[in-house]
Amino acid sequence: MSGGIPDSEMELYDLRIVVDRIEGRSVCGLAVGDYFEVTKSSQLRMPEGKHFCMYALAAVLPLLPAKQRRLQAGDWLEIDTEVACPDAEERLVMRIERQGLSTMRTADLT
């Protein structure tokens, strides 16, 4: 038991966030197909030599914990997969893809 929370296991989806399309002009250096991944609950990974715009990242981050979990079928967070970067001129749209499942122990998390 850690901090009053019983130690148990849970499954979280690993995620890949992919640049799906750019409907304006690319100003941040990203291209369609660029991506980053979230694995093992909180590990952020990018392909070697690649980057991801911090503003696009900031737009998608609040949704990721919900997308890591199984939600009820009718929940909009279960269905929706697209997130737009706030740069109105760029109009970059990202897609959140669920990958495999990681089994986590609550005692190993905060």
Query: Domains of the chain: which residue ranges?
Result: 14-104
Residue 30 token pair? 């990203």
pLDDT digits (tens, 9 = 90+) for 80-99: 999 999 998 999 999 999 99
| End-to-end C-alpha distance for the chain, whole angstroms | 12
* For range 33-49, the mean pLDDT: 94
* For range 30-36, the mean pLDDT: 97
| pLDDT for residue 106 is more than 80 | no
Q: How far apart are CA 56 and CA 72, in angstroms?
A: 27
Q: Nearest-CA neighbor of 62 among 46, 77, 51?
A: 77
Confidence at residue 1, expressed as pLDDT on a 0 to 100 scale: 45
45-54 contacts: CB < 8 A, separation 24 or more? 53/28, 53/29, 53/85, 53/92
Question: Residue 3's pLDDT band (boundaries 50, 70, 90)?
Answer: low
